[in-house]
Amino acid sequence: SSDLTFHLKNKGITVLAHSVEYSADKRYVTVYLNEDNGIVDGAHTYEIVLKAKNEDNCPGGQYVKFEIITGIPLDKAVDITRGLNTAVQVQEASLANLQHKFDWIKETIEGEPYAGKVAYKQNEKKDFDIRDLIGLLTLFNVEHPELKGKNPKEAYVSKAKCLKLYQNNQKSYEMLKSILKDILYLHDYIHINSRKLYNEKKGGKAGAMKGVFEQKEKGNFKFIFINSENKYKLFSGTLYPILGAMRFLVEKKEGDDAYTWKFKTFKEVISFFDKIAPDMIASTYDQSITYGRKPNAVGKDNNHWDNLYKTVALAYLTDK
């Protein structure tokens, strides 16, 4: 190719290694890897280069940035990998924004107090990230071909996967337009009220639920979609399965190309949550105990997602 800018368009390859040795004439480098080392970013680029080399069609004059990092302890290696991969996701989200793929979201929340608090671009210091917002919509996207009939665990486990799901089928996300603001409100409402609702009904002290709720040491957590603050909130791993279970209340009526609530009003959705919240928190607490109070493990447990979904379904059908 006459375009010799591949290295400017590609982040290159980053390798974590045990050590590096140069030959006497500095023409060759020997890289020593142990079993925990290897490529932490750019594996796809590496495959492309190998394939081109094997097929003997490597374009001349092109090069790839190759970075080798040594002397990193294993626990720090995980952080580095996560950081590099997060950078890729942020770039992808910024790119999607440049392509106007989030315009419908901006239009939907226009005029809301939080409209200017969502970050769509790289290096924007805002309260809420568009990738997290896409994750919340993923929880309720019941018609997406890759999510139909499944627990939308991706919403918790992988922001990158949610972004891919969005790019693969944006239309199914746009069907959430009429309830998008409700979903954002519900996100904050569950965070703020779950603990209080549990204490009122069960007479217990949800404050002691380490591994379910986290407490702010100083000040309060901010909730931009409700415009409120609170000392407690759920961990992401305990919130997502609860919020995701509420997708049972979403439907696409025949002939419609939009999602609506099964209830007539959003106020009824909130009242319904108030009723079932204590049971959902109790189930979450039990699950948390099983995993040694580790919220991350709770958020990844498929059976837990199933159980909460069934709790919502049963309560709704019994209510009717």
Give the pLDDT score at 77. Answer: 64
Position 88 pLDDT exceeds 80: no
Is 282 within the bounds of a domain? yes
Whether 83 maps to a domain, the answer reads no
CA pair distance 298, 289, nearest whole angstrom: 10
Position 254 scores a pLDDT of: 78
Tell me what pLDDT residue 267 has. Answer: 97
For 251-273, what is each residue's pLDDT tens digit?
A: 988 778 899 999 999 999 999 99
Domains: count for the chain: 2
- Examine residue 79 and state whether it is found in any structural domain, yes or no: no
Of 33-37, 124-128, 141-145, 181-185, which gets the smallest average pLDDT? Answer: 33-37
For residues 98 and 68, state if they share a domain: no
- Residue ranges making up the domain that contains 126: 94-319
pTM above 0.85, yes or no: no
Q: Is pLDDT larger for residue 206 or for residue 255?
A: 255
Q: What is the rounded average pLDDT of the residues 40-62?
A: 77
Annotate 247-260 with three-state secondary structure: HHHEECCCCCCCCE
Predicted pLDDT at 204: 66
On whether both 174 and 56 belong to a single domain, the answer is no
Q: Is residue 195 part of a domain?
A: yes
Q: Above pLDDT 90, what percent of the chain?
A: 52
In a domain, 88, yes or no: no
pLDDT 10s digits, 136-156:
999 999 988 888 888 999 999
For residues 41 and 127, state if they share a domain: no
Residue 116 has pLDDT above 90, yes or no: yes
Considering the domain architecture, whether residues 118 and 66 belong to the same structural domain is answered as: no
Output the 3-class SS for the chain. Answer: CCCCCHHHHCCCEEEEECEEEECCCCCCEEEECCCCCEEEECHHHHHHHHHHHHCCCCCCCCCCCEEEEECCCHHHHHHHHHHHHHHHHHHHHHHHHHCCCCHHHHHHHCCCCCHHHEECCCCCCCCEEHHHHHHHHHHHCCCCCCCCCCCCCHHHHCHHHHHHHHHHCHHHHHCCHHHHHHHHHHHHHHHHHHHHHHHHHHCCCHHHCECCEEECCCCCEEECCCCEEECEEECHHHHHHHHHHHHHHEECCCCCCCCEECCCCHHHHHHHHHHHHHHHHHHHHHHHHHCCCCHHHHHHCHHHHHHHHHHHHHHHHHHC
Residues 170 and 42 in one domain: no
Confidence of residue 317 (pLDDT cuts 50, 70, 90): very high
The answer to whether residues 132 and 259 belong to one domain is: yes
Q: Which of 263, 264, 255, 246 is nearest to 137 (CA)?
A: 246
